[in-house]
Amino acid sequence: MENIKWIKVESPEEGAKKVFTLISEELQNNRLHVLGLATGSTMIPVYNEWTNSTLDFSNVTAFNLDEYVGIAADNPNSYAYFMNEHLFSKKPFKETHIPNGMAEDLDEECKEYENQLNAHPLDIQLLGVGENGHIAFNEPGTPFDSVTHVATLTDSTLGVNSQYFENDDKIPNIALTMGISSITNSKKLIMIAFGEKKRAAMEKLKAGEVTAEWPITKLLRHDDVVVITDLQID
Ligand code: GLP
């Protein structure tokens, strides 16, 4: 696909170095003011590269994609905790935003989050992908024009993500997530996918057919996408 630049790497560590290069170029050229961030094991080597570097995010505002409902920021299972542990405690940002899954009025929280995004348009959004092709917590079938909303997680996602849950906490089946439209409004998208479990999603992207059953395929309608993967997709 012409809108997608595919970068094949040999390992997650090499992939993380590619992300580092892209991000540092954008920072140096003064093109990165608002950065969309993601969670998940894919992002750990990426954030390690950043925290072991002199990259300066002190003028950058960050927005995270999603958060579980009912898990507090000081709980190790929350995405807020993940971000703090892997990045924010080590690299200062100008501002950081993560949807508040403890908000009393979840719909209002989503509305406010989307307003914040509109006030700070994303320059770059980092993305991982679920095994079922979800981006953030936009599960198969989510409308492409969706904005930040309360999402119900599929059994497949609950099964995959529950392996990361600690302390006998039960994984919530609802989450707050930026919508597909909130994500693809970003000027640039960097999709990162490592390992065989992501092959089906990468193959759908490569095949070039846009379908709501594979939310990742919405990237085919964006004009500036970089995919970094250790999979050879023909
Ligand atoms: C979660 C997140 C997604 C992420 C996915 C993949 O479901 N909501 O944003 O892309 O996990 O996670 P991993 O990188 O651990 O494979």
Cα 130 from Cα 90, distance rounded (Å): 27
- What's the pLDDT score for residue 167? 80
Dihedral in degrees, nearest 10, Cα atoms 195, 125, 154, 172: 110
Residue 209, amino acid: E
Query: 137 C-alpha to center of ligand 1: Å?
Result: 8
Over residues 13-35, the pLDDT tens digits come to 999 999 999 999 999 999 999 99
Predicted pLDDT of residue 211: 97
pLDDT computed for residue 90 by the predictor: 98
CB burial string 218-230: b at 16+ within 10 A, e below: bbbebeebbbbbb
**C-alpha to C-alpha distances, 102 to 38, 162, 183, nearest whole angstrom:** 19, 19, 22
Q: Are 165 and 77 in contact (CB under 8 A)?
A: yes
Looking at ligand 1, which residue's alpha carbon is closest to its atom 11? 40
pLDDT in tens, 5-17: 999 999 999 999 9
Length of the chain, in residues: 234
- How far apart (Å, rounded) are the C-alpha atoms in residues 178 and 185? 11
Q: How far apart are CA 158 and CA 31, in angstroms?
A: 37
Residue nearest to atom 2 of ligand 1 (CA): 136
Q: Is 136 a pocket residue for ligand 1 (Cβ < 6 Å)? A: yes
Active site residue 97: no
For residues 232 and 196, the answer to whether their CB atoms sit within 8 Å is: no
For this structure, is 222 an active site residue?
no
Is there a domain that residue 156 lies in? Answer: yes
pLDDT per residue as tens digits for the range 193-230: 999 999 999 999 999 999 999 999 999 999 999 999 99
Looking at the structure of the chain, the number of domains it has is 1
Q: Domain range holding 133?
A: 4-229
Ligand 1: which residue has its CA nearest to atom 8? Answer: 136
Residue 15 in tokens: 């992939």
Pocket test of ligand 1: the residue of 132, 134, 135, 202 to mutate, having most ligand atoms within 8 Å of its CB, is: 134
> pLDDT grade, residue 234 (50/70/90)?
confident
pLDDT at 197 (0 to 100): 97
Determine, yes or no, domain membership for 159: yes
Has residue 97 been placed in a domain? yes
CATH of the domain at 17: 3.40.50.1360
In a domain, 234, yes or no: no
